[in-house]
Structure 1
Amino acid sequence: MSGAGVLVRFAEELRPLSSVPERRATADGTSTLGHVVESLGVPLTEVGRLVMDGRRVPASHVPVAGTSVRVEPVSRPQRVPGAPLRFLLDVHLGTLARRLRLLGVDAAYDSTDVGDAALAARSAAERRVLLSRDRGLLRRRELWAGAYVYSDRAGEQLRDVLGRFAPRLAPWTRCTACNGRLAQVTKESVAERLEHGTRRTYDAFARCEGCGQVYWRGAHHGRLTSIVDEAMREFGEPADGTERVERRDGATG
């Protein structure tokens, strides 16, 4: 490449965002390196080290013409300091939210489109890592922490998030509908909410402490178990004493 700007080289892991391995950007003497990188399509949520001419520099560094920088991805597993690991997902990631909840991961999600400003503000107020495929949303400065979800396939999205953040997994302990905690209950205590066939066939039940949804091992138990077992084999161990139960309509995504 010719020209006297800043030569920006992206690590292979960031190529899906940058589209090309290296780009030359203008050095105007006022724009920070973070601004330069984001102007080339890579949110700073995805950036680990910035190495300029062999030395590490912060995103606030103002580059000069004739320099080069290597943009490296965040290290994995990525540690989020200062708060229990919790997530917030944008409106397009409902299936991922339900699968994270199935694994016992705290994953807030609202199926209504509340807007970028409200999502970023909630991330900051509740100290949640915002997961999104919207790069513009991840560039908002009020965001507490965020991560780009690279795939549009739910299974790959789940593996990406689990591999990146290594959350503690406790399957079958959260409500897939509202993210509340599940508590084991007797059949008698929920009998009025069950259809006759369910009362006759099943004996183990749980109820969400938040929305009251009742769960049991239903017809979709095998499919849900395969999701859980695959995640646990690669990313964790099951919590002792957890009971495998399923939402009454089996709708977990």
Structure 2
Amino acid sequence: MNGPQIHVEFAPGLRVFVPHGRRSGATPVATDGSSTLGHVVESLGVPLTEVGELVVNGRAVAVSRLPAADDTVEVRAVARPQPVQGAPLRFLLDVHLGTLARRLRLLGVDAAYESLDIGDPALAARSAAERRVMLSRDRGLLRRRELWAGAFVYSTKPAEQLRDVLGRFAPRLRPWSRCTACNGVLAPASKDEVVGQLEGGTRRSYDVFARCGECGRAYWRGAHHAQLEEIVDGAVAEFGQPSN
């Protein structure tokens, strides 16, 4: 590296991305003289989707700024809740986040999900085409410039992942309004409309149903409803009342 040396300090929440030796305090970093601060930050392991502000020598700057010798760079995390401009808040989840996708849908959050590994270019293209926030634990995917927007999912545990996404983006909650299988919108249905999908015991025991307008799947308050209700009640209690 023949460019200026700068000093970079990461917010505590971002230190999970960087090598152990860079996790505390300002660290000297050699640059090449032509890469932007955004490229420098990404080269150190932090996706720009996770960066809220870059503050150089006390002033907020754009990621396109070129570093100067002895710059002190503070890399801040995104603000929470994080506003998303230019489109309704909708998500796209990669193949590894199926449980999170189903839980978001359970809460009525628009969450598209790729059940197959279609590759990073295709995921990024879909994010851009549908203007969806890409949720992933794949840093390489989140660095793709085609993405409309993205966010790293920090935990590997579905309950923590859900809290992370709800706390970061504050989506409107409309529990029981989406199909957990395909993300379609549910509508009330009579027993006669769904009777072909019901086992004998269900036909005898339940009278209130909903059906997905996309895939036609039927829903009712069955044996697992208590477990799902616990997820919904916990999310609503922590992140606000559901919207109409």
Please give the range of the TM-score, normalised by the shorter of the 2 chains.
over 0.9
Partner of 1:207: 211
- Structure 2: how far apart are the matches of 1:45 and 1:227? 28
Q: 1:123-202 to 2 correspondence within 5 Å?
A: 123-202=127-206
Match for residue 6 of structure 2?
6
Q: More displaced, 164-173 or 183-192?
A: 183-192
Unmatched segments (≥5 aa) in structure 1 = 241-253
The 3-state SS of whatever aligns with 2:188 is strand
CA-CA distance at 1:141 after TM superposition: 0.6
- Which residue identity is paired with 1:111? S
Aligned-partner SS, 2:211: strand
Q: Percent identity?
A: 68
Q: Structure 2 counterpart of 1:189, which letter?
A: E
Q: In structure 2, what is the Cα distance between the partners aligned to 1:65 and 1:27?
A: 9
Equivalents in 2 of 1:128, 1:86: separation in Å? 5
Structure 1 counterpart of 2:15: 15
**C-alpha distance after superposition, 1:153-201 (max 9, x if no partner):** 0000000000000000000000000000001001111112211100000
* Superposition deviation, residue 17 in structure 1: 1.3
Could you say which residue in structure 1 is the equivalent of 2:116?
112
- Is 2:217 the counterpart of 1:228? no
| Residues matched between the structures, number | 238
What root-mean-square deviation, in Å, do the aligned CA atoms of Structure 1 and Structure 2 show? 1.3
Query: How far apart in 2 are the matches of 1:192 and 1:121?
Result: 38
Instruction: Give secondary structure in 1 for the equivalent of 2:123.
Output: helix
Q: In structure 1, what is the equivalent of residue 83 of structure 2?
A: 79
Cα deviation for residue 238 of structure 1 reads 2.8
Q: How many angstroms apart in 2 are the aligned matches of 1:55 and 1:188?
A: 65
Residue 35 of structure 1 aligns to which amino acid in structure 2? H
TM-score by length of 1: 0.92
* In structure 1, distance between residues paired with 2:101 and 2:28: 38
TM-fit CA distance, 1:212: 0.5
Paired with 1:192 and 1:18, the residues of 2 have a C-alpha distance of 55
Whether 2:78 is the aligned partner of 1:46: answer no
- Normalised by the length of structure 2, the TM-score is 0.95
Match of 2:222 in 1: 218
Matched, 1:69 2:73: yes
Contact 2:172 2:242 in 1 (8 A): no
| Native 8 Å contact 1:86 1:106 kept in 2 | yes
Give the unaligned 5+ runs of structure 2. Answer: none
Q: Tell me the distance in 2 between the aligned counterparts of 1:64 and 1:133.
A: 32
Query: For structure 1, which segment, 184-193 or 166-175, has the greater mean C-alpha deviation from structure 2 after superposition?
Result: 184-193
Deviation per CA, 1:216-251: give whole Å up to 9, x if none. Answer: 0010000000000000001121345xxxxxxxxxxx
- What whole-Å deviation, never above 9, does each CA across 1:30-83 have from its counterpart, x for those lacking one? 100000000000000000111111111110000022111000000010001010
